[in-house]
Structure 1
Amino acid sequence: MNAPETTETGSSGDPGYDTVDVSVLVIGAGAAGARTAIELAERGINDVLVLGKRSHGDAHTTWARGGINGALGTHDPEDSWAVHAADTLNEGHFLNDPGKVETVTKQMPDRLRELDEWEMDFSRTEDGSIDQRFFGAQSFRRTAFAGDHTGESMLNALIDRAQELSVPYRENVMITSVLSDGDRAYGAVGFDMDTGDYLVFNAGTVVLATGGYAAVYNRHTSREDENNGDGPALAYNAGAELMDMEFVQFHPTGMAVNESDPEWEPWSGRLVTEAVRGEGGRLYNAEGERFMKRYSPDQMELDARDIVARAIAQEIAEGRGTENGGVYLDLSHKSESFIRERLPRMHERFDSLGVEMASEPVEVAPTAHYGMGGVAVDEYGETSVSSLFAIGETMAGVHGANRLGGNSLAETVAFGAVTGKRIAEQVDGPGRIPGQIVDDIAKPQMRDLTTLAGRDGTYGVMSVFTDLQDLMWEHAGILRDEDSLRAGLDELDALREKASDMDVGPITSDSFEFAIDIGFMLTAARAVLRGAIQRTESRGAHHRTDYPDIDSDWRRNIYFERADVGGMSTHTEAVGTPSEAVQDALDEGYELDYHQLE
């Protein structure tokens, strides 16, 4: 279903474009965008349009496999939203916004029951309850799941519900700019990726639900055309602030493969879900040592992701890695029937590559997985630019310095409901884009896109794209220091010059899309490097070898905003304090007992 359009012919050499009037424009068709639209529709707001860059239902949400957190207490009735919040703050090294953490953890039992009502294909206990498994650094079994295809099953349920409510959506549209005067958002500019037609969306409210920025790294768990930092960059360019961008989660278990083998090479860095370890998977180095006994004897393979990732990186750096630059993840002590039932997608993937998980280990190594930072928002998901919201992985605040596994999907539906409710209370029609915004932002944007399309240049788009990813892995990876970070900034400036001289195909080509992505990635990469230089401590996923300890004075968030003449300025603010209920849970000192899995 599409919103009504009017066609406007360009004048004075401007390209023509279609105008779409809509009260609420949701950019991003994954779980966060879908749940926001559902909330609006259920509250009687039908003048909504959801945009996706891909076919409907083809969103990064489907790649989230292991589970979604909520204190249902299926197996552990002593669990509660407050303990869930305490675990989240502990995992985030207390850099999280405590209010946003409570928003998620309080909501999640109801959000899980809601998904169940919408016929999500949850795995079940023998009595038919929603099953829950162990996940890293969680005190209790609170990760609900659908085999190892949780994100896919969740998005299917959300899309089915949205279709029941006749939520309008449009596929294959790429947004290149949010229309804003710095104080208020009025809509967005983009193009139809199939036809190349320009589109101007006149919207009373804009919601960014476009994912994160982990794909600025060369080893990552996303597809190349997603999580390129478009949401944070769109918000930043519109005048909103970013926050915590230096914190990038490197998942411990991405696939480590022989990259010279064409059958395996496309799988390099792809996620081996934490559910494998949650179901008892064990890590061994090339010498056959179960090395997590040295790094974390109590929580072992299910310690926090940053700890396990650094342990693996250390084993590899000290020469105890595998031939393909990883370590072994072994589930061979479990039966094939168990693996097929609990981890069907993982079993299917490795079986197709000739590996039987029930009899041999798989090779894994850390891979960029998730950006804890993103757009700075208030308790409802609204940015400092009025009428511009950001939710899901696009927003910052919930995860702090390191994300608790299973909280990413939780955040999407929790804040989708909160943001949708807030917008429904405020929505007042499409509004009108001021003529000056059209003349000063929209039309110049379309002229720039026209100039970019088909441009002859010196450098190939994908060459610049991969150079940027390599730069970030080398200079802002798992282990960081000031000299390398500053060298990365210098190289980024040189790469920006190359990006202005790329050989680009027509507007409907892949190279045009990736050329746009490079612009977004340059913004995200600069913020990561700037924040990593400024934060002179090690906390969570940010590890400085020249400042290896946590500094209590750095319990502060770094904010990034646009400065004059294309610059980026920063300031810091102290983090808030938890509520009494959460502080009580923290004081209790709950902790996962890994050995229940033995």
Structure 2
Amino acid sequence: MERHTYDVVVIGAGGAGLRAAIASHEAGARTALVCKSLLGKAHTVMAEGGIAAAMGNRWPEDNWEVHFRDTMRGGKMLNNWRMAQLHAQEAPERVQELEDWGALFDRTEDGLISQRDFGGHKYARLAHVGDRTGLEMIRTLQQRAVQLGIDVFMECTITEVLLDRGAGEAKVSGAFGYWRESGRFITFEAPSVILATGGIGKSFKVTSNSWEYTGDGHALALRAGAALINMEFVQFHPTGMVWPPSVKGLLVTESVRGDGGILRNSEGKRFMFDYIPEFFRSETADTEEEADRWYDDKKNNRRPPELLPRDEVARAINSEIKAGRGSPHGGIFLDIASRRDPEFIRKRLPSMYHQFKELADVDITAEPMEIGPTCHYVMGGVEVDPDTQESAVTGLYAVGECSGGMHGSNRLGGNSLGDLLVFGKLAGEAASAYASSLGPARPAVSEQDVKAASASALAPFEVEGGENPYSIQSDLQQSMNDLVGIIRTGAELEQSLAEIEAFKERAKTMVVEGHRQYNPGWHLSIDLRNMLIVSESIARAALAREESRGGHTRDDFPETDHEVWGRKNLIVSLDDTGDGVVLTEKPLPQMPDELKKYFEEPK
């Protein structure tokens, strides 16, 4: 069996993983970067709009305190305040760092990094590269990692985090996985493992997420003994393509609305004015005239309702569709053609222009787009220390979408790319410092655990007459879409948990045909175990939270309960059998008084 020894192993090579690997390497650690697909093909490239950072290039009044307040309010005050603070304070420096490494941002008239408007942000603060910001980020970070000589293991899937359970405390000793092309196993010996595996979207039928997003990091952390937080909060991006069926769910960037696009129903009505929540009414325009004026003079006017946080917009779109005022293909209309000239659209939104032209035969400079909500992001993830990103398991770190706490119950657009950079750096530095503190006395890899991980991975080849993993995945996706989607009820969530239990039983006897050499069915059988345990975590937490908040909407509990549910988080961990999950409640971290002042109403 192939073996390698490192100080830090980073699992996932998106923005978070690359930034963590760079920080770890620069801190002096021998670092390995392991990715499920090819380097540069991470899902981060789909983050199109920009990086939220209070640089003040468009609006000098912007600062980290305003960004912090916007982030907390967008997350309905359920965020880990320290993570939101660190993110707001450090994001500008991380963006500047990207530029120093060669990122080519769009510029203001004065030559500064340009910043655009996005939902939930008081000021234009998203540093952007047209609508291809994520692609530029990956290009820059990838080039930096290659320049530094960081070892990269491409098309390699990690199936288990290995632990040394000696001396009474489980500590990370490495990771076990396999090469996707050959099926051969590989073991990494390392005292620090950073999970940067992204999200869970492939558990849902309609999603903007790529094939890699099967909840691997969430499940790896659970099995290692860490806990997950905020798993009930799944963000359905308001705008995904709805036609043709082959691209249903593909992301339509929020930049379209940030640059002036508006939402209309089948009757031609700009309906978002009917859905302004009380929480945001004081700063949201309630007439079309006032909303349109905002793009020219943001200081004296309230922002358009299309730029409310994503959870509010997604629910409004869903309501219009359910009321029978949807578009011909089951969405609603997003119109920028009537508001911006073609040259502006092609310059600011080149990816969207080509995406609709090539995939849907729609010219967005001349006609509206049909869009609808799509599963996009999970706010929940591994519970970590805000300053180091370390989980409850010594030596195990999590960063990016597979960590939880930063975004509370709803993430503001643009905060994900800043999140990757800020916490990727912190995780890499902390993991490297821990590894160097150990000296030669490192946690040891257990050969018994390696054999167990190997046997578990090969189990589907030993079954005869079992079920194809593709049919189980398809049924799981349909169930999550129908029962744990954008609007939830207690009865449907209970039904989903019963169906997930049935899927888990079916998965015990799933069978894989053929050999280990590049075998997509085998890969899915391994991914499916992760998808099932993460789906159960989402459904169980959603059933327990009897209120509506952010990305979690209960039709049977439509109100937001600040007194009961606004004071605690739900924590998910594996049960004693290791086959299911249990919930516990944990008080929300107390924000210090010097930060509370930003949320006081003006007298």
Match of 2:368 in 1: 361
Which runs of structure 2 are paired with 1:226-375 in the superposition (5 Å)?
226-257=212-243, 264-296=244-276, 298=285, 299-332=304-337, 333-352=339-358, 353-375=360-382
Report how far residue 251 of structure 1 moved: 0.4
Report how far residue 121 of structure 1 moved: 1.9
Q: Could you tell me whether the CA contact under 8 Å between 1:221 and 1:367 is conserved in 2? A: yes
Match of 1:216 in 2: 203
Which runs of structure 2 are paired with 1:192-211 in the superposition (5 Å)?
192-211=179-198
The equivalent position to 1:59 in structure 2, one of 39, 42, 67, is 42
In 1, Cα distance between the equivalents of 2:28 and 2:495?
Answer: 53
Matched to 1:128, the amino acid is G
The equivalent position to 1:517 in structure 2, one of 500, 504, 527, is 527
Match of 2:295 in 1: none
The equivalent position to 2:52 in structure 1, one of 69, 92, 96, is 69
Match of 1:595 in 2: none
Q: Could you tell me whether the CA contact under 8 Å between 2:239 and 2:252 is conserved in 1? A: yes
Equivalent residue of 1:577, what SS? coil
The equivalent position to 1:124 in structure 2, one of 107, 115, 128, is 107
In 2, Cα distance between the equivalents of 1:550 and 1:277?
Answer: 27
Q: Could you tell me whether the CA contact under 8 Å between 1:23 and 1:431 is conserved in 2? A: no
In 2, Cα distance between the equivalents of 1:457 and 1:18?
Answer: 32
Q: Could you tell me whether the CA contact under 8 Å between 1:134 and 1:143 is conserved in 2? A: yes
Q: Could you tell me whether the CA contact under 8 Å between 1:24 and 1:205 is conserved in 2? A: yes
Structure 2 residue 150 is the aligned partner of structure 1 residue 137: no
Q: Could you tell me whether the CA contact under 8 Å between 2:461 and 2:511 is conserved in 1? A: no
Q: Deviations over 1:6-55 (max 9, x none)?
A: xxxxxxxxxxx21111111000011111111111222222x110001111
The equivalent position to 2:503 in structure 1, one of 495, 507, 515, is 495
Q: Could you tell me whether the CA contact under 8 Å between 1:462 and 1:511 is conserved in 2? A: yes
Which runs of structure 2 are paired with 1:377-456 in the superposition (5 Å)?
377-379=384-386, 380-428=388-436, 434=444, 437-439=446-448, 441-453=449-461, 455-456=463-464
CA 1:357–1:125: 2 relative to 1, 3 Å: same
Match of 2:27 in 1: 43
Q: What is the TM-score normalised by the length of structure 2?
A: 0.91
Equivalent residue of 1:164, what SS? helix
Q: Deviations over 1:389-447 (max 9, x none)?
A: 00011100100000011001110100011112222322236865546x321x2201102
Structure 2 residue 480 is the aligned partner of structure 1 residue 472: yes
In 2, Cα distance between the equivalents of 1:454 and 1:350?
Answer: 45
Q: Could you tell me whether the CA contact under 8 Å between 2:177 and 2:185 is conserved in 1? A: yes
Matched to 1:351, the amino acid is K
Structure 2 residue 6 is the aligned partner of structure 1 residue 22: yes
Equivalent residue of 1:273, what SS? coil
Equivalent residue of 1:565, what SS? coil
In 1, Cα distance between the equivalents of 2:136 and 2:479?
Answer: 35
In 1, Cα distance between the equivalents of 2:223 and 2:182?
Answer: 26
In 1, Cα distance between the equivalents of 2:545 and 2:188?
Answer: 39
Q: 456-465 vs 334-343, which deviates more?
A: 456-465
Equivalent residue of 2:404, what SS? coil
In 1, Cα distance between the equivalents of 2:422 and 2:443?
Answer: 31
Q: Deviations over 1:349-397 (max 9, x none)?
A: 1121321101101100000000000000112100000000000111001
Match of 1:570 in 2: 583
Matched to 1:147, the amino acid is G
Matched to 1:196, the amino acid is G
Report how far residue 458 of structure 1 moved: 3.6
In 2, Cα distance between the equivalents of 1:424 and 1:206?
Answer: 10
Matched to 1:291, the amino acid is F
In 1, Cα distance between the equivalents of 2:582 and 2:506?
Answer: 24
Matched to 1:205, the amino acid is S
Q: Deviations over 1:481-507 (max 9, x none)?
A: 111100100011111112122231333
Q: Which runs of 5+ in 1 are unaligned?
A: 1-16, 258-263, 590-598
Q: Could you tell me whether the CA contact under 8 Å between 2:397 and 2:431 is conserved in 1? A: no
Matched to 1:163, the amino acid is V
Q: Deviations over 1:63-105 (max 9, x none)?
A: 1111110000111111111110100000000110000111111
In 2, Cα distance between the equivalents of 1:255 and 1:307?
Answer: 19
In 2, Cα distance between the equivalents of 1:248 and 1:214?
Answer: 9
Q: Deviations over 1:122-176 (max 9, x none)?
A: 1111221100010001111111111001001001111111122111111010011
CA 1:323–1:208: 2 relative to 1, 3 Å: same
Identity of aligned residues (%): 39
Q: Which runs of 5+ in 2 are unaligned?
A: 277-283, 286-303
Q: 77-86 vs 496-505, which deviates more?
A: 496-505
In 2, Cα distance between the equivalents of 1:72 and 1:588?
Answer: 25
Report how far residue 56 of structure 1 moved: 1.1
In 2, Cα distance between the equivalents of 1:564 and 1:460?
Answer: 28
Report how far residue 107 of structure 1 moved: 0.4
Q: Could you tell me whether the CA contact under 8 Å between 1:207 and 1:390 is conserved in 2? A: yes
Match of 1:13 in 2: none
Which runs of structure 2 are paired with 1:3-18 in the superposition (5 Å)?
17-18=1-2
In 1, Cα distance between the equivalents of 2:317 and 2:255?
Answer: 18
Q: Could you tell me whether the CA contact under 8 Å between 1:186 and 1:431 is conserved in 2? A: no
Q: Deviations over 1:487-536 (max 9, x none)?
A: 10001111111212223133321111111111000011000011011111
In 2, Cα distance between the equivalents of 1:579 and 1:341?
Answer: 44
Number of aligned residue pairs:
563
In 2, Cα distance between the equivalents of 1:457 and 1:62?
Answer: 40
Match of 1:186 in 2: 173
Equivalent residue of 1:453, what SS? helix
Q: What CA RMSD, in Å, does the superposition of the two structures yield over aligned residues?
A: 1.5
Match of 1:8 in 2: none
In 2, Cα distance between the equivalents of 1:384 and 1:536?
Answer: 27
Q: Could you tell me whether the CA contact under 8 Å between 2:227 and 2:382 is conserved in 1? A: yes
Matched to 2:101, the amino acid is W
Report how far residue 579 of structure 1 moved: 3.9
Q: Could you tell me whether the CA contact under 8 Å between 1:202 and 1:430 is conserved in 2? A: no
Match of 1:559 in 2: 571
CA 1:65–1:456: 2 relative to 1, 3 Å: farther
Q: Could you tell me whether the CA contact under 8 Å between 2:17 and 2:196 is conserved in 1? A: yes
The equivalent position to 2:17 in structure 1, one of 33, 57, 64, is 33
Q: Deviations over 1:281-334 (max 9, x none)?
A: 110111111111211362311111111000000000010011211000011121
Q: What is the TM-score normalised by the length of structure 1?
A: 0.92
In 2, Cα distance between the equivalents of 1:504 and 1:36?
Answer: 35
In 1, Cα distance between the equivalents of 2:28 and 2:468?
Answer: 48
Match of 1:541 in 2: 551
Match of 2:281 in 1: none
Equivalent residue of 2:427, what SS? helix
Q: 176-185 vs 548-557, which deviates more?
A: 176-185
In 1, Cα distance between the equivalents of 2:15 and 2:126?
Answer: 17
Match of 2:93 in 1: 110
